[in-house]
Structure formats: structure tokens, C-alpha cells
Amino acid sequence: AALSRRYVLCEVVSEDPRCRQCIEDRAVGLAVRDAIGRVHGDYGLACCSISFTVKYLNAYTGTVLLRCRKDSYRLLCSALPFVRQLESRNQRYPCFLNTLHVGGTIRTCQKFLIQYNRRQLLMLLQNCTNEEERRCIQKSLLSCSLTEEQSQSGDEEDDDGTE
């Protein structure tokens, strides 16, 4: 049987608009590993590092998908609130990671993200001040869907049925 994994969907939240430019796999991975090391020490870091990886990242929306082994996802999740900054090219940007969802497959995280984005967009839609804004957001709402291509990714066979 394939190794059991957990996918942790987070969003990078920052007051600093320049933070977006340093949302990259390496910076996020290092910040998370650093937090795990501070909170759980070398042992916790070793446990989490075995199959830990930044699986997906969207700098524009600040969405990050982390993968780890099922038996260490609690260690990972408990360390995420201690991520305080992202570092890139010797610049530090204060931010924090907001955990949105923990799932057994990438697909369940995608489905959650679509629903989450829809809710966020609906809230924006209610706060629109003009017709142009309204049209842009409605267009975004309609584009919230899964494409067939994504569902063909090879990461789905490690779903052990527990969500």
C-alpha cells in the first residue's frame, strides 16, 4: 500500500504587499521547517521532514499546499502558527500561515479551496461599489472549477479513505 499522507492547505497572510514576491517553495519550506524546529526540536523536525514538501503554491492568491506523512501532520499543524515571516534574498517579510483545511488527497483540498474561494468572492461581491467591480468578481466566481487535467495528477492513490 502507498504511504499514507496528509495535505495541509494554508494561506499566507501579510500586511506587506511586497511579501507576495517571496512566496516561493523554498522560502515557505524553510519558514515551516524553522517553525517545526523551534516548537518540536530536532526530533519533531526529523519526524516531519521525512515526506514533507510544498506541493502547490500560488503566490498571487497566497495559497500553499503542504504534504506530510499522516503520522506527523499534527506536529506540522501545531507548528504552523509559529511561522512569523518569509525570507527571500536577505529580505524578511512578516506574515503568518492560516490553515484552511487538512485532507487525505490533493483532490479534497482542491474541492475545499473552490468552495472557500466562492465564499470569499461572494463576500467581495456584497461589498462592491460599482458595476465594473461586480462584473469582475462574477467572472471570477464562474471560473472557480476543477479542470480534468488536475484530476489526472498522480497523487490520488495515497488516499486511504479517511478524511
> What is the arithmetic mean of pLDDT over 63-71?
94
Cα 63 to Cα 20, 95, 149, 153: the distances in Å are 11, 13, 19, 19
Rounded to a whole number of angstroms, the CA Rg of the chain reads 17
CATH architecture type of domain 1-104: 2-Layer Sandwich (3.30)
103-135: pLDDT as tens digits: 999 999 999 998 988 888 888 778 778 888 788
> Could you tell me what percent of the chain has a pLDDT over 70?
86
Q: Can you count the helices (H) and strands (E) in the chain?
A: 5, 6
Give the pTM.
0.77
